[in-house]
């Protein structure tokens, strides 16, 4: 299965990977275009990139971008990587598993994305062996290593509410003498997907829900060290960076292995670039153009440029994804092609309604069922994914849907008849007796990634993950922070199992089509 998919991709994309530099990418024929660190050339103001589901639009609102010498595109560290290595325009400013596998093939594993520091399961493993990069090659995951115990903003150790044990260490990193939990500088390694470095006015807004105290639990909100203002705490899987500047500085030190801090000019250029780049799907392979003049205003990168950031969606003025009731019933009979297109559009409109209005019982999900809605609560996808235009939570969007916590997280079945092995580490976290138990999971919690709890040290945060923006999804499979859903259909199936939703086959297809059009 896997090998077959790789082979097909390579044939389709090889000439693009080796295409001559100096051109504005993408090439007009809308094919994939990998950008190497330090390449000359640039990004068009309006870029378009084909993907399996249609085509992604990448809009540079400030105009064409010269990549030459630009700190987002330049290898500023010691390992040859640039920010663009893992935030590729063709992949909605994230990095798809397809691209990762293709780069492995094309460069024989020499692309800097495979650098030992976090592009391998652990730095000590033999780097030529693809098995040492299995989490990146199978699930698109980079190693994120965080200090244990956690530190507060001033660098002081936080006394965690739980103890942590390594139950399973398939990568060898969490128990390693140099990199592990019991090393001289104790670290916890978790494995996560890159997030889209685009549409960033949404995850960093200063609008609704941002206040001095975290709306979910009343604790103090992290503040931007530059402005001193409370932040929306919506960046990365665990909201650890208080701002894009802090994020970029940290990314340079970790991902790029840069020794000296980035200069102010470099940080300015990175943050300015990130602040003006917008991504969203703009053509759907069934529904055709998503951005026609009279169509719904939810789609395409320009909609994100225009949209107001930090607004909680409702269903009168600011829908989460505004469809204006369009595409619900479209004519048939003009031509077979138009019938097919209209059927595709109707499916997207139905999928939107499933997302907004199809209720199910949301149960045992920390920071949703614990914030006054009751457990369970009869609500919809849009209850959690409520922010206008991106479907994030407006602020502090970390929740536990069971993507990394057992019993819901994807685990390899263990039995005498399979050779499947667990790929991800498993931790056992035991909450202290002098605090209240986790309301849904009790005192002992098994997890593949403690998520926000690795930053806050809080029992109730175990396995909570900040929701990603639901944009450019078709360009950046797999999904969830731990890459456990290989397709959008797989995401829908996860929810169907997790919350016992009982979607019909039609609802599942429509919902996946809708997500794919975002």
Partner 1 sequence: MSLQRSITLSLACVSGGAVAAMPDSVQRNFVACPIVRDTASVPCWLAEYEGELYFLTLQTDVSAPVNPPMLGHKVLVEGRRTDKPRICGGIVLEPVRLSVLPALDANCNQLLPAEAQYNLTFEPPRPPGPSKGRLAFNTLDVQQAEVAPQRVEKHFSIGYDFEGRVGFKHPALLQPVLDYALAIKATSINIEGHRGAALLSDGTILNESPKLAQQRAQQVAELLQGAGLIGPRYTVRWIDAAPAPNGSDDSAQRRVDITIKP
User: What residues line the site for ligand HEC (CB under 6 A)?
Assistant: 81, 83, 85-87, 113, 118-119, 142, 144, 192, 194-195, 197, 203, 235-238, 244, 247-248, 251-252, 255-256, 270, 274, 355, 362, 365, 368, 381, 383-385, 399, 401, 403-404, 465, 467-468, 470, 473, 479-481, 491-492, 495, 511, 515
d(CA 398, CA 455): 12
| Closer by beta carbon to partner 1, 434 or else 505 | 434
d(CA 422, CA 302): 42
CB 446 within 8 A of CB 439: no
| Closer by beta carbon to partner 1, 77 or else 391 | 391
d(CA 495, CA 27): 38
For the segment 194-213, give every residue that binds partner 1 (CB under 8 A).
208-209, 211-213
Number of residues that bind partner 1 (CB under 8 A): 50
Least spacing, CB of residue 105 vs partner 1, in Å: 45
Q: Which two tokens stand for residue 432?
A: 């202290």
181 binds, among ligand HEC, partner 1, none (CB under 5 to 8 A by kind): none
Please, what's the largest Cα pairwise distance for the chain? 71
CB 275 within 8 A of CB 351: no
The residues facing 51 across adjacent strands are: 54
**Helix, strand or coil, per DSSP, at residue 466:** strand
**In the block, which residue shows the tokens 């090998």?**
3
**Helix, strand or coil, per DSSP, at residue 502:** coil
382 binds partner 1 (CB under 8 A): yes
Strand pairing of 24-25 and 42-43? parallel
| Closer by beta carbon to partner 1, 352 or else 508 | 352
CB 55 within 8 A of CB 70: no
Which residue in the set 6, 106, 253, 312 belongs to the binding site for partner 1 (CB under 8 A)? 312
85 binds, among ligand HEC, partner 1, none (CB under 5 to 8 A by kind): ligand HEC
Question: What DSSP letter does each residue of 278-346 carry, written as one string?
Answer: EEEEEEETTTEES--TTS-TT-SHHHHHHSPSS-B--SSSS-SS--TTTTSS----S-HHHHHHHHHHH
Write the CA distances from 307 to 46, 208, 446, 469, 481, integer angstroms: 18, 14, 40, 14, 26
Neighbours of 191 (CB within 10 A): 24
Site map (CB under 8 A) of partner 1, residues 211-230, x = contact: xxxxxxxxxxx-x----x--
Least spacing, CB of residue 511 vs ligand HEC, in Å: 6
Neighbours of 77 (CB within 10 A): 23
81 binds, among ligand HEC, partner 1, none (CB under 5 to 8 A by kind): ligand HEC
99 binds partner 1 (CB under 8 A): no
Per-residue DSSP letter, 242: S
| Closer by beta carbon to partner 1, 63 or else 220 | 220
d(CA 61, CA 222): 29
391 binds partner 1 (CB under 8 A): no
384 binds, among partner 1, ligand HEC, none (CB under 5 to 8 A by kind): ligand HEC
| Closer by beta carbon to partner 1, 176 or else 216 | 216
142 binds, among partner 1, ligand HEC, none (CB under 5 to 8 A by kind): ligand HEC
| Closer by beta carbon to partner 1, 191 or else 360 | 360
401 binds, among ligand HEC, partner 1, none (CB under 5 to 8 A by kind): ligand HEC
CB 57 within 8 A of CB 301: yes
Least spacing, CB of residue 128 vs ligand HEC, in Å: 19
Least spacing, CB of residue 149 vs partner 1, in Å: 17
Write the CA distances from 172 to 122, 148, 169, 230, integer angstroms: 7, 17, 5, 38
| Closer by beta carbon to partner 1, 325 or else 439 | 439
CB 299 within 8 A of CB 518: yes
Least spacing, CB of residue 387 vs partner 1, in Å: 12
361 binds, among ligand HEC, partner 1, none (CB under 5 to 8 A by kind): partner 1
Question: What DSSP letter does each residue of 89-115 carry, written as one string?
Answer: GGGTTB--HHHHHHHHHHHTT-SGGG-
| Closer by beta carbon to partner 1, 40 or else 315 | 315
68 binds, among partner 1, ligand HEC, none (CB under 5 to 8 A by kind): none
Least spacing, CB of residue 422 vs ligand HEC, in Å: 17
Site map (CB under 8 A) of partner 1, residues 360-379, x = contact: -x-xx----xxxxxxxxxxx
d(CA 243, CA 226): 9
CB 70 within 8 A of CB 269: yes
Site map (CB under 8 A) of partner 1, residues 110-139, x = contact: ------------------------------
Contacting positions for partner 1 (CB under 8 A): 208-209, 211-221, 223, 228, 312-317, 319-320, 356-357, 359, 361, 363-364, 369-380, 382-383, 386, 394, 436-437, 439-440, 442
């Amino acid at each position: 299965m896997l090998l077959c998919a790789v082979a097909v991709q390579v044939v389709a994309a090889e000439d693009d990977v080796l295409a001559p530099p100096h051109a504005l990418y993408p090439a007009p024929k809308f094919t994939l275009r990998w950008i190497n660190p330090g390449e000359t050339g640039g990004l068009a103001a309006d870029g378009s990139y084909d993907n399996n589901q249609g085509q992604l639009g990448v809009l540079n609102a400030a105009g064409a971008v010269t990549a030459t010498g630009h700190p987002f595109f330049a290898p500023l560290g010691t390992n040859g990587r640039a920010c663009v290595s893992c935030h590729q325009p063709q992949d909605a400013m994230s990095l798809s598993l397809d691209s990762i596998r293709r780069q492995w093939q094309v460069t024989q594993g020499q692309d800097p994305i495979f650098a030992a520091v976090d592009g391998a399961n652990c730095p000590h493993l033999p780097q030529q062996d693809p098995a040492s990069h299995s989490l990146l090659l199978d699930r698109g995951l980079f190693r994120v290593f965080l200090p244990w115990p956690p530190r507060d903003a001033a660098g002081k150790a936080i006394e965690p509410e739980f103890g942590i044990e390594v139950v399973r260490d398939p990568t060898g990193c969490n128990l390693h003498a140099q990199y592990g939990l019991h090393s001289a500088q104790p670290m916890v390694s978790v494995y996560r997907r890159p997030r889209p470095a685009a549409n960033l006015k949404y995850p960093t807004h200063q609008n609704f829900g941002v206040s001095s105290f975290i709306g979910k639990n009343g604790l103090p909100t992290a503040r931007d060290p530059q402005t001193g203002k409370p932040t929306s705490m919506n960046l990365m899987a665990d909201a650890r960076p208080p701002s894009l500047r802090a994020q970029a500085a940290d990314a340079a030190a970790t991902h790029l292995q840069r020794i000296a801090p980035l200069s102010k000019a470099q940080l300015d250029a990175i943050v300015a670039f990130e602040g003006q780049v917008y991504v969203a799907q703009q053509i759907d392979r069934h529904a055709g153009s998503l951005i026609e003049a009279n169509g719904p205003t939810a789609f395409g990168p320009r909609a994100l440029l225009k949209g107001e950031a930090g607004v909680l969606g409702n269903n009168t003025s600011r829908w989460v994804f505004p469809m204006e009731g369009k595409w619900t019933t479209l004519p048939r009979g003009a031509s077979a092609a138009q019938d097919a297109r209209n059927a595709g559009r109707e499916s997207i409109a139905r999928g939107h309604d499933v997302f907004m209005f199809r209720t199910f019982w949301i149960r045992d999900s920390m920071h949703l069922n614990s914030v006054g809605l009751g457990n369970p609560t009869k609500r919809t996808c849009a209850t959690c994914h409520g922010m206008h235009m991106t479907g994030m939570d407006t602020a502090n969007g970390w929740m536990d849907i069971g993507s990394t916590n057992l019993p819901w997280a994807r685990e390899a079945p263990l039995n005498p008849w399979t050779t499947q092995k667990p790929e991800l580490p498993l931790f056992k976290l035991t909450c202290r007796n002098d605090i209240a138990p986790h309301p849904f999971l009790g005192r002992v919690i098994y997890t593949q990634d403690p998520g926000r709890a690795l930053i806050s040290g809080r029992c109730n945060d175990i396995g909570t993950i900040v929701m990603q923006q639901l944009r450019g999804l078709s360009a950046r499979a797999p999904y969830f922070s731990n890459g456990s859903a290989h397709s959008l259909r797989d995401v829908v199936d996860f929810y169907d199992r997790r919350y016992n939703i009982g979607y019909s086959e039609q609802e599942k297809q429509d919902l996946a089509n809708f997500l794919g059009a975002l």
